[in-house]
Homo-oligomer: A and B are copies of this chain.
Amino acid sequence: MVAAVAGVSRSTVSRVVNASPRVTAEAVEAVTAAIEQLGYVPNRAARSLASRRTFTIALVIPENTARFFADPYFASVIQGVAMYLSGTDYTLTLLIASEADPEKTRRYLQGGNVDGALILSHHRDDRSYVQLARTLPVVFGGRPMSQEGPDNYIVDVDNVAASVQATQYLVDHGRRRIATITGPQNMAAGLDRLEGWRRVLAQNSIADDLVEEGDFTPAGGEAAMTKLLARGIPFDGIFIASAQMAAGALGVLGKHGLAVPRDVAITTMDNDYYAKNSTPPLTTIDQPAGTQGAKIAEVLVQLINGEHVEKLTLIPTELIERESV
């Protein structure tokens, strides 16, 4: 094998491959040349078995795969993860969590088949994986609601800062009576976006009573806007916690003869199809999903390597100006 060609022992080859500092420059050179010449690729299985590391990271996907993949946000996150990992020795494996047999997934994960796991929390409470974090490096993408493990590694979009930014934008553009349609209040993103809105209103001494809860869907936005208008309290600006809901709300405003942005200015979140193609196009907060994916992977790799990492990593967001304000 390589050792023979390079004129050293297998141990030295191993040291070179693993970038050990205790090798002379000449040895490194000889081995590198031999590797190149022979087109040598280390066998993962043997490496894993001997080193007790797998160089494999699992991305756990909820069984109801269809919904998961249908969300372009997740596609982008996965993309970011994969891109980051391609620059490392780690390999990404997609693991479908069987809901019928959750033990299967848990065992696989804990059976030493992966060095770490990535959990993208999909619109709900994932406490099962919080348990997992006790025996395996785990990083959550998006904050899980579960109370039990307040102590997890999390990479999330800074939802509070984002809604502050979006709401402040309304204030900066002269709006004085500002409403909101929130996301579900049993989701972290829903709570945080409401919180940011409240902060801005408090700072500007604006009443924060015009609140209706939505469910992140167009239908939910429609219903919430209907209720809001039914109160009979006029408002000239609104922060809607997702572009999908905003799309639903727009129709209702139109029916009531309210023009956007003339009568009501709108800012929202998610720079998605709805934000871009509504009439008018919506001023919104872009969540850089790819960046988030890369960051999640980076944090996990650092965790695996025993480096120090902050428990909470917040990804900054960006405001995209369009015609709804």
Residues of A within 8 A of B (CB): 39, 41-49, 54, 56, 61, 65-66, 68-70, 72, 75-76, 78-79, 82-83, 85-86, 91-96, 98, 107-108, 110-113, 273, 290
Contacts and interface: CB of A to CB of B under 8 A. Distances in A.
Contact of A113 (B41, B78, B110, B273): B41
Contacts of A110: 41
Contact of A54 (B39, B44, B75, B76): B44
A98 B39 CA distance: 17
B108 A83 contact: no
Contact of A107 (B41, B70, B83, B94): B41
A43 B96 contact: no
Nearest to A44: B113
A65 B83 contact: yes
A273 B70 CA distance: 12
Given A45-B45, A45-B48, A82-B94, A107 B39 contact: yes
Contacts of A61: 82
A89 to B, nearest CB: 11
A94 B96 contact: no
A86 B108 contact: no
A4 to B, nearest CB: 19
A41 B82 contact: no
A46 B108 CA distance: 15
